[in-house]
Structure 1
C-alpha cells in the first residue's frame, strides 16, 4: 500500500513553519536569543505574530527542533527484543543521526541543527525546555521497547537504561555543536555510548 501524500494545505503549513523557524534561528544567532522579540521574527518571515504562535506556542519552540522521536521509536520497536535495552536504543540513536545528518541531502538540515544546538547550549531557558522534551522522548522509547509502563518492576530498569542512552546522546550533541560539526554526529554518539556501556553496545547481540 502506497504512503499517503501530504495535501496542499499540509505542504503549505509545513513550508510556513519551516520559513518561520529558519528566520527565527537566523535572527537569534545574529542578535542573541533574548534580544529578538517574536514580532521581529514574524516581520522577517512575512507573517503575523499570531501565525508564529499558531505554529510555535512559545518562543523556545522556535529553536527546539522537533526531535526525531518517531524515527527513533520506530527503530527501537523494530529491533530484536532479545537484545539488551542499551543495544536496542543505542543502535536506533546512531541510525537516526546518520539518516538526519550524513550525506549531501542532509547538508542544510545539518547546518540548521547545529545553529539550534548552539543556541540551546548558550540559553538557560532553552536548556530547560530541552529537558522537558527529553523526558517525553524517554517515555516514547520505553513504550517502543514493548514494556508496560504500569509494570513498575520492568519499567524502572528500562527507564534507567534509556535515560543513560539519552544522556550519552545529549553529551554527543553538545560536543558536535561545540566542534561545529567537525566530527560526524553518529561517530560522537557511538563514542559516548561506548564510554557509558562498553565496546559491545553497538554490536548485534
Structure 2
C-alpha cells in the first residue's frame, strides 16, 4: 500500500507528544527530500547522502529512521489504518465486504490529494527491482494485519494455513494491482482495479471465452473428426 495520510484515522485522539511530533516531522522531511531528488534525477542516481543533505540531517539519521533507500519510498502508515478500519466495520458484515470498504477509503487519498506521489511509488515498484523486492518483504506485515482481521470475522486462528493463504493472496493481489496500474500508465481507475482483483480472489477466474469442445480440440491437436468417424 502507498501513502502516509489516512482518511480513517480518528480525529478526537490524544495529540502526540513533542518527541513524536519531531520524529514525524523529520521522517516527512526525509521522504520529501527523497521524492524531490528521484523526480529530478531518477531512483538509481539518488543517494542517501543526497537525501540527507536536502533534508538537512545526517546520513545516519536518515538510516536510523528508514534503514534502506527502498524503505524511504515504501514505508507508510496504512497497516495500522487498515487494522483500525477493519475493526470498526459491523461485526456481522462479511469480511470481503469490509475489506472493500476500507480499501476504497484508503485509496481515496491516493487518488486525490496524493495522486502524484502514489503514481511515483507505483512506477518505482514496476521499474526498480530493489523496490519490488523490498515491498515483498514489507508486505508480510500487511498480511499479518489482514490475517488478524479475517480471523476475527471467521473465528479461525490467525496463524492457520487457510487464513495465512487467503491473507497473503490478498496482499500479493494488491501488489500486482499497483504494478498493473503503473505498467498501463495509470490510465485506469485504481479503485476499479482493486475491485477486479478482489473479485478474482473471491470468485475465481472468469469463464473462458471459448467453448469446452473448441478448447479440447485445440489441446488434442490434428486428428480424425469424431463427428465424421
In the superposition, the TM-score normalised over structure 1's length comes to: 0.78
Residues 167, 94 of structure 1: alpha-carbon distance in 2 compared, 3 angstrom cutoff: farther
More helix by share: 1
Say how many residue pairs are matched: 192
Q: Distance in 1 between matches of 2:72 and 2:79?
A: 18
Alignment of 1:101 onto 2:106: no
Q: Name the residue aligned to 1:203.
A: none
Write the deviation string for residues 42-86 of structure 1: whole angstroms up to 9, x where unpaired. 112222112211211222211113151112122222334555543
Alignment of 1:25 onto 2:25: no
SS in 2 for 1:35: coil
- Greater C-alpha Rg: 2
Gaps of 5+ in 2: 1-10, 205-229
Alignment of 1:131 onto 2:136: yes
Gaps of 5+ in 1: 200-205
CA RMSD across the alignment: 2.8
Q: Distance in 2 between matches of 1:154 and 1:53?
A: 32
Residues 163, 87 of structure 1: alpha-carbon distance in 2 compared, 3 angstrom cutoff: farther
In the superposition, the TM-score normalised over structure 2's length comes to: 0.71
Tell me by how many angstroms 1:7 deviates.
2.9
Write the deviation string for residues 117-152 of structure 1: whole angstroms up to 9, x where unpaired. 2112211111111011111111121112345xxx76
Tell me by how many angstroms 1:4 deviates.
0.5
